Amino acid sequence: MRQGKAIIFSAPSGSGKTTIVKRLVQQNPDLEFSISACTRDRRGRQEENGKDYYFLSPEEFKRKIDNHEFIEWQEVYAGNFYGTLKSEIERIWSTGKNVIFDVDVKGGINLKKYFGESALAVFVKVPSLEILEQRLRSRNTDADRSISRRLFKAKFEMTFEDQFDITLLNQELEVSVRQAQEMYRNFAGPLVTNA
């Protein structure tokens, strides 16, 4: 199987990384999103199993850990596990595509260590914690306690910025998407189409 390239987007929750990743996938037919596994509940009706995440029970997740089925995994919040399945990367690379990740900061560092030179790790930075809080509140998906927990975690995650290959400051979404596109093409090379 051909080993493709991996582009890793990591950031504190609410930074805009998921929107940037979705836009890159739309713009690049040679790129496919790596679906993470998790044990958390779905957010509303908009999240689908096998599309947004592989939603697993804690027992299923722990069984996969014991079977060494993850490239990386972690308990992000108490009782909420997230991880990258080896089978997911094999599935994407078997189609000849590169893989893109949308993961938290610790997951991004672990993926960069795993993939080495085959990966570009991008840290998406928010202009300030105040702006991050506004973005989290505007999503209307989290309770105040959850937002406080995310902000506390964000402060900690920002201290790991220097462990990434490049930082993308997300002040204005359209500018950030253009910059991310340029980063990807510089890393992956020009898009080759079968004409």
Q: Which residue has the higher pLDDT, 31 or 189?
A: 31
Q: Which residue has the higher pLDDT, 145 or 57?
A: 57
Q: What is the pLDDT of residue 193?
A: 59
pTM over 0.85: no
Q: What is the pLDDT of residues 51-71, one digit of tens each?
A: 889 999 999 999 999 999 999
Q: Which residue has the higher pLDDT, 42 or 100?
A: 100
Summarize the confidence of residues 66-84 as an average pLDDT.
90
Q: What is the pLDDT of residue 1?
A: 45
Summarize the confidence of residues 36-50 as an average pLDDT.
86
Q: What is the pLDDT of residues 8-23, one digit of tens each?
A: 999 887 788 999 999 9
Q: What is the pLDDT of residue 195?
A: 42
Q: Has residue 75 got a pLDDT over 70?
A: yes
Q: Are 82 and 106 in contact (CB under 8 A)?
A: no
Q: What is the pLDDT of residue 156?
A: 81
Averaged confidence pLDDT in the chain? 88
**CA–CA separation, 10 vs 104, rounded Å?**
5
Q: Has residue 95 got a pLDDT over 90?
A: yes
Q: Has residue 28 got a pLDDT over 60?
A: yes
Q: What is the pLDDT of residue 76?
A: 78
User: If you write DSSP's letter for every residue of 11-76 in order, what string do you get?
Assistant: -STTSSHHHHHHHHHHH-TTEEEPPEEE-SPP-TTT--BTTTEEE--HHHHHHHHHTT-EEEEEEE
| Three-class DSSP category at 84 | strand
Return the H-helix or E-strand segment holding 80: strand 80-85
Q: What is the pLDDT of residue 140?
A: 67
